[in-house]
């Protein structure tokens, strides 16, 4: 999508309208034909009878009246023989018509009273080969005329011909009437239907290559563009973009808010787009930008920085302020006509993006070949982490916290360790960043908490006094709506568990979900400490947000040298802030006797670090509680030191 591209209007077609019109047309045609057929067939049935009656009357001709009169005379004739002869004469007169097979006079019981001589045409079974037409002349007797079969066949043939004529005429009438209806009723809607189909085709083609949510191109558009750019045989420059902090928006404010953030970010990409630039949303919070063919690496860097600046501006959704940033990977190369070359540039930009997210989050990185091995290693590590979680390889190690002066143990921090089957025991710095990238950091949090609760119960049964355990909680879990229900299901002992929340996890993210979860944690008897305090974020805002019981000062400040005046001043400011809020201070990273004395003199209340004790496995806690020493065998693996 270029900067000057017109937004296409998406008008869905109401397919019900055209189908209703077709249904009307079909119903109209069927009804017309049915009416015409019924009328025609009714007419034919009458025509058949009338045809035969008329033929009979015509054949009898002018002497029909005389025949009737003669029969009347026969009926009143006194001499039976004379009446019989007169009646026969009349019947013979009727049979003089070549269409009549036989004529006979029958009484109401069906018995023959008078019939033509057998030799003249009447014979047994004549009715089987002829059509009988009764002629009623009085209340006592019927005159029956047997019509010849060939005459009947001829009449039936005429009837069929007339049937075809009438039905054909009806069909023609139905078609003509429907043509009229088509023009008057269907014609204009049909034109609209044709236009709708054309629009539907355009819309379908557009939707097939564009993302419904943002209006940018989709993965199919990406493939089409790769083929097109390869055919151009020009320089291809790709910006691969990923939004940092987007998952947190989805987790805290819901998917509707996440969709709105994506739309805003897409609009900001369009606003600053170059001429002939193509923008694509490849899925989730990931975007790809095809720069114009004449753009070089300098233009790519400038465009990347503009995108970073635009995306980082605040976004307000549902009254909440959302902060997302853009990390960008860049690669460029000359194409010679092969799509795989273009695909490789996209892959390279993805590798550069991977490095940007890990080493320059909120910035951009230009690809070079040295990055690929590192990226593949981290991807393999990600798969290994998932396998380790499935096989229960993550476990807590415990580092004591002691009071200043008497060094009494007042708690332990549970630190995640990974018992890797090949590399031994790994510390968080070996896997945490990758776990965050692949979205499983919350699973590690859950495993460490579950193991810590089990260890507390075991120590309690064994008579080992463990005052409390503090654990790190990831921002993703802290902002999750499912956090409190999950914790309630675990029967956490009140006053024994403390969550350590990193300052940068809540900086500028004071949402309703956060406040709800903080209050809920306190209701469950879970303490709250602020971890890594003083790393340059808005410390005052962080304290006001969560109102912690203790503050753990960042190691960088605790371990600062006397000559580093900036850090020393920051440390003093943190101390003063804590005193004003009456919050207990914990110094972590105390690794030497000299450092321990320094922080004690500054006014810290708790100490934690390797000078006190290193993190130890659960089995070593008994020796520490009993003798104040660490089991050397339990710590024989140097990787945990």
More confident residue, 596 or 13: 596
Under the banding of pLDDT at 50, 70 and 90, the label for residue 84 is: low
Q: What is the pLDDT of residues 384-409, one digit of tens each?
A: 999 999 999 999 999 999 999 888 99
Read off the DSSP letter of residue 640. Answer: G
Please give the backbone phi and psi of residue 185, each rounded to the nearest 5 degrees, phi first. -110, -40
User: Helix (H, G, I), strand (E, B), or coil: what is residue 318?
Assistant: coil
User: Helix (H, G, I), strand (E, B), or coil: what is residue 111?
Assistant: coil
- Kindly state the average pLDDT of the residues 457-485: 89
Please give the backbone phi and psi of residue 143, each rounded to the nearest 5 degrees, phi first. -100, 120
Query: Looking at residue 641, what is its pLDDT?
Result: 31
Query: Looking at residue 62, what is its pLDDT?
Result: 38
Query: Looking at residue 455, what is its pLDDT?
Result: 95
Query: Looking at residue 497, what is its pLDDT?
Result: 94
Under the banding of pLDDT at 50, 70 and 90, the label for residue 251 is: low
More confident residue, 365 or 125: 365
Under the banding of pLDDT at 50, 70 and 90, the label for residue 632 is: very low
Decide if 273 contacts 1 (C-beta within 8 A). Answer: yes
Query: Looking at residue 505, what is its pLDDT?
Result: 61
Q: Is the dihedral of CA 377, 378, 381, 386 positive or negative?
A: negative
> What percent of the chain has pLDDT above 70?
70
- Kindly state the average pLDDT of the residues 233-259: 84
Q: What is the pLDDT of residues 126-136, one digit of tens each?
A: 655 555 655 54
Q: Is the pLDDT of residue 272 over 50?
A: yes
Q: What is the pLDDT of residues 588-629, one digit of tens each?
A: 889 888 888 888 888 889 999 999 999 999 999 988 888 776
Query: Looking at residue 189, what is its pLDDT?
Result: 65
Q: What is the pLDDT of residues 504-555, one digit of tens each?
A: 666 444 567 778 888 899 999 999 998 887 655 444 555 666 788 888 887 8
Task: State how far the Cα of 587 lies from the Cα of 578, in Å rounded to an integer.
Answer: 13
- Kindly state the average pLDDT of the residues 110-129: 61
Query: Looking at residue 357, what is its pLDDT?
Result: 85
Read off the DSSP letter of residue 323. Answer: -
User: Helix (H, G, I), strand (E, B), or coil: what is residue 481?
Assistant: coil
Q: What is the pLDDT of residues 558-590, one digit of tens each?
A: 777 766 666 777 777 778 877 887 888 999 889
Task: State how far the Cα of 301 lies from the Cα of 297, in Å rounded to an integer.
Answer: 6
Task: State how far the Cα of 31 lies from the Cα of 411, in Å rounded to an integer.
Answer: 91
Distance of CA 188 to the CA centre of its chain: 37
Under the banding of pLDDT at 50, 70 and 90, the label for residue 8 is: very low
Long-range Cβ contacts of 33-36 (<8 Å, 24+ apart): 33/170, 33/171, 33/174, 35/170, 36/166, 36/167, 36/169, 36/170, 36/171, 36/173, 36/174
Q: Is the pLDDT of residue 270 over 90?
A: yes
Q: What is the pLDDT of residues 281-338, one digit of tens each?
A: 988 899 999 999 888 899 999 999 999 999 999 888 877 788 889 999 999 999 888 8
Task: State how far the Cα of 233 lies from the Cα of 295, in Å rounded to an integer.
Answer: 14
Residue 284: partners with Cβ closer than 8 Å, 6 or more residues away: 246
Query: Looking at residue 239, what is its pLDDT?
Result: 96
Q: What is the pLDDT of residues 35-46, one digit of tens each?
A: 766 766 666 555
Task: Print burial letters for 317-342: b (CB count within 10 Å at least 16), e (below 16).
Answer: beebebbbebbbbbbbeebeeeeebb
> What percent of the chain has pLDDT above 90?
28
Decide if 497 contacts 527 (C-beta within 8 A). Answer: yes
Query: Looking at residue 141, what is its pLDDT?
Result: 64
Distance of CA 206 to the CA centre of its chain: 18
Query: Looking at residue 582, what is its pLDDT?
Result: 83
Q: Is the pLDDT of residue 444 over 80?
A: yes
Query: Looking at residue 383, what is its pLDDT?
Result: 93
Tokens standing for residue 37: 């057929």
Which runs of E-coded beta strand occur in 199-324? 235-244, 278-283, 286-290, 315-317, 320-322
- Kindly state the average pLDDT of the residues 66-82: 56
More confident residue, 438 or 17: 438
Q: What is the pLDDT of residues 162-183, one digit of tens each?
A: 777 767 776 777 677 666 666 6
Tokens standing for residue 526: 């879970």
Q: Tell me the C-alpha to C-alpha distance, in Å, between residue 429 and each of 327, 513, 639.
A: 22, 29, 12
Output the average pLDDT for the chain.
78
Long-range Cβ contacts of 342-350 (<8 Å, 24+ apart): 342/226, 342/227, 342/229, 342/230, 342/236, 343/226, 345/236, 345/238, 346/222, 346/226, 346/238, 346/240, 346/288, 348/238, 348/372, 349/238, 349/239, 349/240, 349/288, 350/240
Q: What is the pLDDT of residues 201-214, one digit of tens each?
A: 777 777 888 888 99
Task: State how far the Cα of 404 lies from the Cα of 438, in Å rounded to an integer.
Answer: 40
- Kindly state the average pLDDT of the residues 484-502: 89
Task: State how far the Cα of 532 lies from the Cα of 539, in Å rounded to an integer.
Answer: 10
Please give the backbone phi and psi of residue 365, each rounded to the nearest 5 degrees, phi first. -135, 135
């Amino acid at each position: 999508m270029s900067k000057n591209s017109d937004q296409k209007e998406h008008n869905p077609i109401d397919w019900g309208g055209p189908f209703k019109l077709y249904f009307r047309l079909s119903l109209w045609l069927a009804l017309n034909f049915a009416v015409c057929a019924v009328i025609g067939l009714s007419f034919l049935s009458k025509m058949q009878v009338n045809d035969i009656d008329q033929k009979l009357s015509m054949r009898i001709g002018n002497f029909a009246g005389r025949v009737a009169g003669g029969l009347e005379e026969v009926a009143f004739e006194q001499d039976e023989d004379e009446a019989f002869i007169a009646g026969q004469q009349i019947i013979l007169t009727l049979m003089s018509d070549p269409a009549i097979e036989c004529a006979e006079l029958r009484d109401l019981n069906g018995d023959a009273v008078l019939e033509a001589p057998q030799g003249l045409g009447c014979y047994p079974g004549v009715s089987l080969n002829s059509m009988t037409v009764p002629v009623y002349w009085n209340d006592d007797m019927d005159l029956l005329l047997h019509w010849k079969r060939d005459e009947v066949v001829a009449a039936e043939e005429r009837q069929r011909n007339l049937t075809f004529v009438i039905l054909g005429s009806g069909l023609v009438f139905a078609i003509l009437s429907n043509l009229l209806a088509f023009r008057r009723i269907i014609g204009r809607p049909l034109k609209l239907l044709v236009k709708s189909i054309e629009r539907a085709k355009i819309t379908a083609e557009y939707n097939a290559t564009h993302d419904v949510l943002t209006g940018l191109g989709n993965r199919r558009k990406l493939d089409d563009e790769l083929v097109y750019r390869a055919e151009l045989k020009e320089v291809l420059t790709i910006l691969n973009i990923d939004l940092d902090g987007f998952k947190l928006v989805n987790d805290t404010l819901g998917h509707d808010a996440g969709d709105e953030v994506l739309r805003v970010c897409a609009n900001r990409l369009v606003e600053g787009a170059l001429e002939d630039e193509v923008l694509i949303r490849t899925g989730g919070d990931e975007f790809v930008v095809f720069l114009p063919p004449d753009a070089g690496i300098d233009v790519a860097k400038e465009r990347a920085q503009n995108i970073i600046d635009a995306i980082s501006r605040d976004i307000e959704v549902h009254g909440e302020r959302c902060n997302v940033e853009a990390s960008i990977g860049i690669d460029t190369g000359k194409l010679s006509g092969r799509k795989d070359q273009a695909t490789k540039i996209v892959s390279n930009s993805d590798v550069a993006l991977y490095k940007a997210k890990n080493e320059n989050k909120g910035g951009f990185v230009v690809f070079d070949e040295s990055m690929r091995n590192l990226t593949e290693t981290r991807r393999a590590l990600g798969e290994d982490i998932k396998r380790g979680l499935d096989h229960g390889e993550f476990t807590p190690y415990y580092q004591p916290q002691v009071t200043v002066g008497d060094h009494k143990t007042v708690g332990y921090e549970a630190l995640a360790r990974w018992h890797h089957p090949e590399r031994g025991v790994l510390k968080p710095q070996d896997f945490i960043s990758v776990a965050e990238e692949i979205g499983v950091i919350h699973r590690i949090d859950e495993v460490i908490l579950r193991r810590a609760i089990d260890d507390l119960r075991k120590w309690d049964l064994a008579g080992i006094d463990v005052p409390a355990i503090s654990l790190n909680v990831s921002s993703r879990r802290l902002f999750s709506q499912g956090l409190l229900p999950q914790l309630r299901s675990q029967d956490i002992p009140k006053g024994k568990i403390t969550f350590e929340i990193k300052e940068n996890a809540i900086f500028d993210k004071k949402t309703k979900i956060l406040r709800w979860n903080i209050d809920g944690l306190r209701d469950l008897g879970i303490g709250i400490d602020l971890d890594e305090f003083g790393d340059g974020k808005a410390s005052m805002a962080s304290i006001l947000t969560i109102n912690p019981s203790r503050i753990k000062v960042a190691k960088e400040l605790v371990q600062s040298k006397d000559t580093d005046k900036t850090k020393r001043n920051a440390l003093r400011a943190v101390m003063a802030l804590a005193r004003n809020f009456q919050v207990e201070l914990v110094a972590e990273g105390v690794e030497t006797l000299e450092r321990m004395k320094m922080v004690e003199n500054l006014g810290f209340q708790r100490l934690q670090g390797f000078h006190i004790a290193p993190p130890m496995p659960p089995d070593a806690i008994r020796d520490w509680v009993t003798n104040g020493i660490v089991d050397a065998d339990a710590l024989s693996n140097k990787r945990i030191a």
